[in-house]
Amino acid sequence: MPFYEMLDSQNAVRDCYAEVQSWVERTGIAGLNRRLEEAEAIFRRIGITFAVYGEGGDPERLIPFDLLPRIFTAREWRVLDRGIRQRTRALNAFLHDVYHRGEIIRAGIIPGEIIYGNSAYLPEMAGFSPPGKVYSHIVGIDIVRTGPDRFEVLEDNCRTPSGVSYMLENREIMTRMFPDLFGQGIVAPVDDYPAELLKSLKEVAPPACKTDPVVVVLTPGSLNSAYYEHSFLADLMGVELVEPMDLFVEDGRVWMKTTGGPTAVDVIYRRIDDEYLDPLAFNPASLLGIPGIFNVYRNGGVTLCSAPGAGIADDKAVYTYVPEMIRFYLGEQPVLSNIQTWQCAKPDECAYVLEHLHELVAKEVHGSGGYGMLIGPKSTREEVAAYADRIRANPSEFIAQPTLDLSTVPTLGPASVVERHADFRPYCLVGKQLRLVPGGLTRVALTEGSLVVNSSQGGGVKDTWVLQD
């Protein structure tokens, strides 16, 4: 049975959930569902929506919000905090290494073909060090809980981990629902995240910047699925939200068009993929790119966050080596474990996967958002056979993991509180120092028994509370 985070081994409500349990009993399920309707009306009114490309239906749909928080004790958070910071440091050290001497490959720890044959690796970044040697400025680490004291990392997100706007807005809603509790200071705050993000971005200003750095958020535009988040973060940081047409390159700098004339831009928090960033350096067909921006970046005229090529650290085949990265670069033992993973690129491991595919979760190494995966125990014989054929055709493109006993969290149902599986994404900021607000985004699978929490696959979100000592 999965660990139910609300109850202890004696089926008594854990102390950390006592206030929530009292609130449920006082308000009643019907009352809570009325509150949930109020919360969703607020989300709709302020425009917190999420579009999924290629789907019909409502392009401005809400991500389902659950009213009952997911709670970590201060002791639990101390472990998570240490593990998240450790992993963030190792991933940035790895990115610097593979774009320079490749010591971890020379040492025989990671096969070179996993790196240099990967489409996410950008040869154009070889030999270049971004300011502060920071490649990933916002690291989102997806963590699952598999027991009372066991947390494991599901995957790493070093490019542009999304969802932080939901972390902040979920807290805003919950503060309205629990004014007395939040007034007591029991729950650690997360609302300083935008200010901490801005500090981190300013700390990696390029050599050409001689004054207070000008920071902008670069969005592909209003049709992007995460456009709300782009505009939300720009607003909270007090910086300009720009589209590619608002920027141009001249005299070794990037300039922003304004009503008062061009303004030099120092740091760009970009939400545009590498391929589309600069048609002169990458995809010549890109209509989103700013011609010449990559050359300015390489010459120290602007900082791009995250660095082009940082996506190599997100690859699921690379993920399997992160514990070794921690030992190699930091000389430490990993605080957070990886989930056991079989690499289909290795013939013996591939043979095991094919034999046990009906028991495993198989994933594409470049996949994201819950797409391109097979959950063996929940798939038909025909689906398993078809996926096995895909693995045989191109084994290096797949990994497999055991079907985990993900912990469950209390979730509001129509008639009662129910258990649903969840994961957790904290956001670690990297500038001259690491910054980590006590909290993150809990994603919850709203379908009974489902292990898929991604919003693009019908999952929901809930507030995450870290209790203070």
Q: What is the pLDDT of residue 403?
A: 86
Write out pLDDT tens, residues 418-437.
999 999 999 999 999 999 99
pLDDT computed for residue 55 by the predictor: 43
Cα separation, 57 vs 61, in Å, equals 9
What is the value of pTM for the model shown? 0.92
CA–CA separation, 209 vs 267, rounded Å? Answer: 9
The pLDDT tens digits for 22-57 are 999 999 999 999 999 988 888 877 766 555 444 444
H runs (alpha helix) in 148-267: 164-177, 179-183, 193-202, 227-237
Tell me the pLDDT band of 61, cut-offs 50, 70 and 90: low
Q: Where in the chain is the domain with CATH 3.40.50.11290?
A: 207-301
Q: What is the pLDDT of residue 469?
A: 84
Q: Which of 97-106, 255-264, 369-378 has the lowest mean pLDDT?
A: 369-378
Confidence band, pLDDT 50/70/90 cuts, at residue 455: low
| Sign of the Cα pseudo-torsion (14, 406, 61, 156, in order) | positive
The count of other CB atoms within 10 Å of the CB of residue 133 is: 15
**What pLDDT does residue 198 have?**
98
**Fold of the domain built from segment(s) 207-301:** Rossmann fold (3.40.50)
pLDDT value at 451 more than 90? no
- Residue at token pair 């239906």: 57
**Domain span(s) for CATH 3.30.1490.270 in the chain:** 340-402
Domain 340-402 part of CATH 3.30.1490.270: yes
- Summarised one tens digit per residue, pLDDT across range 321-354 is 999 999 999 999 999 999 999 999 999 999 999 9
Name the average pLDDT for the chain: 92
Secondary structure letter of residue 7 according to DSSP: B
Tell me: pLDDT of 154 over 50.
Answer: yes
Percent of all residues in the chain with a pLDDT value above 70, rounded to a whole number = 95
pLDDT tens per residue across span 345-398: 999 999 999 999 999 999 998 766 566 789 888 899 999 999 999 999 999 899
DSSP per position, 78-132: HHHHHHHHHHHHHHHHHHHHHTTT-HHHHTTSS-HHHHHT-TT--GGGTT---GG
The three-state DSSP-derived secondary structure of 318-346 is HHCCHHHHHHHHHCCCCCCEECCCEECCC
> Does 458 have pLDDT greater than 60?
yes
User: Which two tokens mark 201?
Assistant: 């971005």
Q: Give, rounded to a whole angstrom, the gap between the first and last alpha carbons of the chain.
A: 30
